[in-house]
Homo-oligomer: A and B are copies of this chain.
């Protein structure tokens, strides 16, 4: 069992050594039926392979064996936060995903525009998947709803999806979904099992009534469904736990939001891994922990595009020497979860990981891939073990106990 955060906080020390954690989203895969090789095994990765024989390799379970994680829990675990202890609600994740900067007491919900008939019964939970432009237009209408002592933010996500954030004193996030997840019935009213949520329940139901009035002429998007009400989890920052100066180098809002959640600074990038490395080089003197997020491997996996995923991995490998040229004390290369092209989605399969420092034992592995990591020194470990290992290899952890 990985140590408690409190223990890590006790033994971690600040030092000049630097850690780079490269997260290739959805890295793990499944073998192509013809070749018997996964995406990573298929990819030509000479630069990653070159350090594998002097790195500690293994497989990580993002949450635990058999569990397919969402991006939230998977990233929290990589940063050392137990995803069973720190839960990120759907609403919060959507808000992070559109780059909305939540503050402490905000409550956020994921919204769908939907279609109801003249009796108020849902006939399409996605309002015919209206365009993202139309969604943005309707969101600005809903943003005009005035609630006493409450600020309301409504932001478009994609197609029929949006996010609502309510800001005000004393809001309680333990609210039921209004989305019945089926058609032929009316949306539920919000309710709560918590007596102290009574005022919040009224506020949200008033918001929904107002939204219904505003949308009445906007068929098919003439009603809304809300779910996943949640609040920012209280997470002790990495600066406190690990005494690090951490920065995230990422392109997509959700990952930047997750990084902010654990106390990282954030550097945005527009381009690919090369541009991430340019940013890394520029800010290398300012920080001692660098989280670099590469999204495209996951997107290719989600699309079922085996070849494109291979290509993304090869692109990363080609640019990799630029990362090594900075001579970081510790390099971690892994993924937040597996996204096999074969499954077209996140999966439960453990994720290859490599930890490279001058304090590694030699291994026989000649290629960075699922197979070599399966027999690597690290064995099959929890993603929660990665931060303690990275910190240890950076000589940033004191002895535990006397």
Binding site for B on A (CB under 8 A): 1-4, 7, 11, 30-31, 36, 38, 58-59, 63-73, 83-84, 87-90, 93-94, 228, 340, 342-343, 346-350, 359-364, 370-371, 374-382, 385, 387-393, 397-402
Which B residues touch A72, using CB under 8 A? 401-402
Interface residue SS majority, chain A: loop
Cβ–Cβ < 8 Å partners of A88 in chain B: 401-402
Q: In the complex, are the beta carbons of B379 and A59 less than 8 A apart?
A: yes
* Cα of A118 to Cα of B233 in the assembled complex, Å: 52
Q: How distant is the Cα of A397 from the Cα of B66 in the complex, in angstroms? A: 8
Min distance, Cβ A31 to any Cβ of chain B, angstroms:
5
Cα-based distance from A88 to B402 in the complex (angstroms):
8
| With A64-B388, A66-B392 as contacts: A59 and B377 at CB distance below 8 Å | yes
Q: Give bound CA distance, A385 to B64, whole Å.
A: 8
* A374 and chain B: residue at smallest CB distance: B377
Q: Which residues of B contact A73 (CB under 8 A)?
A: 400-401
Q: Are A388 and B38 in contact (CB under 8 A)?
A: no
Q: How far is the CB of A392 from chain B (nearest CB, A)?
A: 4
Chain B residue numbers with a CB within 8 Å of A371 are 361-364
Complex Cα–Cα for A400 and B65 (A): 12
Note all chain B residues with C-beta closer than 8 A to A401. Answer: 69-70, 72-73, 83, 87-88
Q: How far is the CB of A242 from chain B (nearest CB, A)?
A: 12
CB distance from A369 to the nearest CB of B (A): 10
The contact of A359 among B71, B90, B347, B397, by CB within 8 Å, is B347
List, in ascending order, chain B residues with CB within 8 A of A364's CB. 371
